[in-house]
Chains A and B, each alone.
Chain A
Amino acid sequence: MIPRSVVATGLGAIGPWGADIASLSAALATGRPLAVPIDDGVAALVPDVDLSPWLPAASARRLGRPSRWAVAAARIALDHAGVTSFEGRRVAVVLATSFGAVHFTEKLVHQILVEGPESAQPFYFSECVANAASAQVALALAATGANVTVTQREAGPLVALARGTAEVAEGRADLALVGAADEMSPLLHGVLERFRAIARESPRPFDARRSGALAGEGGSIVVLEPEADAVARQAGWRVRIAGTAGAFDPSASESDWGRGDEPLARGVVRALARAGRSMDGVDRIVSGASGSLRGDRLEARVLSRARGGARAPAVFVPKAVTGEYGGGFLAAAFLAATGAPFGKVPAVSEIEPGLDVLVHDGAPLPAPRAVLASALAAGGAGAWAVLEHA
């Protein structure tokens, strides 16, 4: 079959900003990190938000935090999309996670290794599997299409977006719930610090003084459906997923970024080509740059190489606000496609010499024709999506 054009018609996002999109937009407009204390440092953690409108307390108690956020975000996204019933539609769920339900995993490992294997609680086990959140979304919503969990670190949300888009475009699903969910814990935060992945102060993507990322958490979901269906039912919020692509840099180590900007740039060009565009047709880049030393440098080089001689679009760096992990980046990319204002990130003031990247200065911008979302993962994977406000 000829692939169908696919649009997002709803967005739900739970994160350090709370549980509503307006708060996320407001935070992105300030450019300031949503950081709160965790152990000796800071992280962008989900506050104690009331999820009961979307997830009854009795149900929430049976779920890990990523599952709670994913189920609530899915219901918020469906509300936003105006989808009140699946009416026999086949619904796929594709979620990304980097670490899964960290708290439960830590508790289970502690039970097994310290208290003894017989102490292991089955509840922790079933909720600490990587696909717990996607399965809980399917259970909560009776979604019987493909149920897929993608684990590709920082590139995971865009890999999931590509997979979910394909499910709808190729007719295997009538609707897809796609997104990401992750949580942070003091132990995981400490481990990331040991790997020097965490910023010593405010995250400064692309800045010469950057020292790492702001760790984050949360859950974000978009509703995908065929554009023809969305138009027919007059869905009010539509963002077209015009093209996606992935690539890999084999020069990367297991836990860091490599130097292979050339193969990754080919991935960017492929995503643009599938959208029928070149870099000249893109007005914003929503970059996955987080403040990582090697990751940001590679990201700048990839984007520069992919751009060739084209003008440099403004680059948004939402992870400086939402933190790394948890789906804030994905939600920000969709908001950027609708023309939502992004502020200057105050901590970014001195771009690393030699990096050919135009980090957004906060000045008002005209409505974008298209947005390129770009994410490079530690370990070598890269993924891109071209989004258009339809």
Chain B
Amino acid sequence: MPGADPKGTLDPPIVVTGLGAVTAFGWGVAPLWEGLRRGAPAIGPIARFDGTKHRTHLSAEVPLRDAPAAQRRASWADRFAVAASREAMGQAGLRGPVPEAGVYFGSSTGGMLESEAFYVSLLAGGARRARPSLLVAQQLNGPGDAVARDAGATGPVETVSSACSSGSMAIGAALRALRRGDVDVAIAGGSDSLCQLTYAGFNALRAVDERPCRPFRKDRLGLSIGEGAGALVLESLAHARARGARPIAILAGEAATCDAHHMTAPHPEGRGAAEAIERALEDGGVLRDEIDFVNAHGTGTPLNDLAEARAMRHIFGSRAAELPVTSTKALIGHLLGSAGAVEAVATVLSLARREVHPMPALGDADEEIGLRLVLGAPLRLPRAAAALSTNLAFGGANAALVFRAAEAA
């Protein structure tokens, strides 16, 4: 591969020193990893709003009863974001304000759930009696701003709203900023909460499965919608060492491309996705053969999974049939703007623990997919040197992240 740099010497290594997550498995990385290893989906009957009138009735909801105390007006998306970031900062050993930090966060709907409540109050009482307090945290930039405010960050704050690739693009933006030296430390991730707009919207597209989603399986019928947040603390290896922080993994490379093919369908051959993967590998100086597993976008929609599988087969050739592939969405649903962030967390955990989490062994194999899916039980990796995480979004916006094991640092 032209430009590949197996030793990763193209740029100063950027390392992950902290992870945080809020998912349907609970508040924290520990319940996430435990749930992922167990392999039983946290997808159940919808309770966040009245789901009876919706076409489908399942979601992967964060257990709100376990939520830590938060500002009164904060949206759930903001609260997820702050909780995940605090956990990541705690693991990274960042106590108290971190003024040198920049924040790079993705969100696709921000506080839309609360906006819907505002709209209901508007319908009930008219414009003068509607409750604008419900809109205080409605903004798409809410989660990222909330994280920066909570961390006392004074560096750049960038919110990416590129649908389902938002979280991974935000992490990519953080990588670039760290390489340029714009910031010493970055808090990167994504957050989204369930809302009726996305739930009904994906249902209108007939993209939601009435059963828990079954990525890459023959009878897959669509996605399961989830919610939550993922956060990573990123910094240069030198910066981490100087303050005694332990690298968990290296964020080696990233890339983003666009299919420019269709608003809601991926390019059938996964052309843009393949290019994103190829460029991310090149960016990270990682050879294709060095990738030991893939955390795929794997939504469970017929078109996405086939296009993504074709992209992987294009990149990895015959090795695609042997390369372990999993989809975190099979267990916690599609977290939309935070999917890439939580899946990055899962990828780093798998690299660090040399184990790929399974998907439920539901349905039959799809011969058109042609990938080695991790089903039913965790897969112990004989080698965990590097991993790939992909996201494919509405509008054809693709993103890929490449991680290396911390030992390479």
A residues whose Cβ falls under 8 Å from a Cβ of B: 93, 97-98, 100, 105, 108-114, 116-118, 120-122, 124-132, 134-136, 138-139, 141-153, 159, 163, 166, 170, 172, 187, 190-191, 194-195, 245-250, 252, 254-255, 260, 263, 266-267, 377, 379-381, 383
Asked whether, in the complex, the Cβ of B156 is within 8 Å of the Cβ of A136, the reply is no
Is B176's beta carbon under 8 Å from chain A? yes
Is B64's beta carbon under 8 Å from chain A? no
Inter-chain CA distance A152–B110, complex, in Å, is 12
Asked whether, in the complex, the Cβ of A263 is within 8 Å of the Cβ of B99, the reply is yes
Is B47's beta carbon under 8 Å from chain A? no
Asked whether, in the complex, the Cβ of A153 is within 8 Å of the Cβ of B141, the reply is yes
Is B95's beta carbon under 8 Å from chain A? no
User: With A194-B132, A250-B153 in contact, do A152 and B120 touch (Cβ < 8 Å)?
Assistant: no
Inter-chain CA distance A267–B155, complex, in Å, is 8
Inter-chain CA distance A191–B146, complex, in Å, is 21
A266: which B residues are within 8 A, CB to CB?
154
Asked whether, in the complex, the Cβ of A147 is within 8 Å of the Cβ of B136, the reply is no
A114: which B residues are within 8 A, CB to CB?
123
Is B353's beta carbon under 8 Å from chain A? no
B197: which A residues are within 8 A, CB to CB?
105, 108-109, 112, 125, 128
A152: which B residues are within 8 A, CB to CB?
141, 157-159
Asked whether, in the complex, the Cβ of B159 is within 8 Å of the Cβ of A118, the reply is no
B158: which A residues are within 8 A, CB to CB?
150, 152, 159, 163, 246
Asked whether, in the complex, the Cβ of A246 is within 8 Å of the Cβ of B156, the reply is yes
Is B69's beta carbon under 8 Å from chain A? no
B360: which A residues are within 8 A, CB to CB?
none
* Cross-chain contact of B155 among A121, A144, A246 (Cβ < 8 A): A246
* Cross-chain contact of B108 among A130, A159, A245, A381 (Cβ < 8 A): A130
A248: which B residues are within 8 A, CB to CB?
103, 145, 148, 153-157
B30 to chain A, nearest CB (A): 29
Asked whether, in the complex, the Cβ of A139 is within 8 Å of the Cβ of B260, the reply is yes
A-B pairs with lowest CB-CB distance, top 4:
A135-B395, A246-B156, A125-B201, A263-B154
A178 to chain B, nearest CB (A): 14
* Cross-chain contact of A191 among B110, B135, B140 (Cβ < 8 A): B135
B123: which A residues are within 8 A, CB to CB?
113-114
Is B386's beta carbon under 8 Å from chain A? no
B10 to chain A, nearest CB (A): 9
Is B241's beta carbon under 8 Å from chain A? no
Q: Count the B residues whose beta carbon is within 8 Å of the partner chain — how many?
A: 78
Asked whether, in the complex, the Cβ of A381 is within 8 Å of the Cβ of B145, the reply is yes
User: With A129-B395, A131-B162 in contact, do A117 and B260 touch (Cβ < 8 Å)?
Assistant: no
* Cross-chain contact of A151 among B55, B159, B272 (Cβ < 8 A): B159
Asked whether, in the complex, the Cβ of B258 is within 8 Å of the Cβ of A145, the reply is yes
A126 to chain B, nearest CB (A): 5
* Cross-chain contact of A126 among B78, B99, B394 (Cβ < 8 A): B394
7 pairs from A and B in contact (CB 8 Å cutoff): A98-B139, A109-B119, A113-B120, A146-B255, A146-B258, A152-B159, A170-B176
Residue from A126, A190, A252 with most neighbouring chain B CB atoms (10 Å): A126
Asked whether, in the complex, the Cβ of B156 is within 8 Å of the Cβ of A147, the reply is no
B residues whose Cβ falls under 8 Å from a Cβ of A: 53-55, 73-74, 78, 97, 99, 102-103, 107-108, 110, 115-116, 119-120, 122-123, 127, 130, 132, 135-137, 139-142, 145-146, 148-149, 151-163, 169, 173, 176, 180, 182, 196-197, 199-205, 255-264, 272, 275, 279, 393-397
A198 to chain B, nearest CB (A): 13
Asked whether, in the complex, the Cβ of B200 is within 8 Å of the Cβ of A129, the reply is no
Inter-chain CA distance A278–B53, complex, in Å, is 60
Inter-chain CA distance A136–B146, complex, in Å, is 30
- Nearest B residue (CB) for A246: B156
B78: which A residues are within 8 A, CB to CB?
254
A130: which B residues are within 8 A, CB to CB?
108, 140, 161-163
With A113-B119, A147-B395 known, 5 other A-B pairs at CB within 8 A are: A117-B199, A245-B182, A250-B154, A255-B135, A381-B148
Inter-chain CA distance A108–B199, complex, in Å, is 12
Asked whether, in the complex, the Cβ of B260 is within 8 Å of the Cβ of A381, the reply is no
B122: which A residues are within 8 A, CB to CB?
187
* Cross-chain contact of A112 among B155, B159, B196 (Cβ < 8 A): B196
Asked whether, in the complex, the Cβ of A129 is within 8 Å of the Cβ of B153, the reply is no
Asked whether, in the complex, the Cβ of A379 is within 8 Å of the Cβ of B275, the reply is no
- Nearest A residue (CB) for B205: A122
B161: which A residues are within 8 A, CB to CB?
97, 130-131, 149-151
B390 to chain A, nearest CB (A): 15
Asked whether, in the complex, the Cβ of B132 is within 8 Å of the Cβ of A122, the reply is no
User: With A117-B203, A139-B260, A143-B260 in contact, do A150 and B159 touch (Cβ < 8 Å)?
Assistant: yes
Inter-chain CA distance A146–B260, complex, in Å, is 10
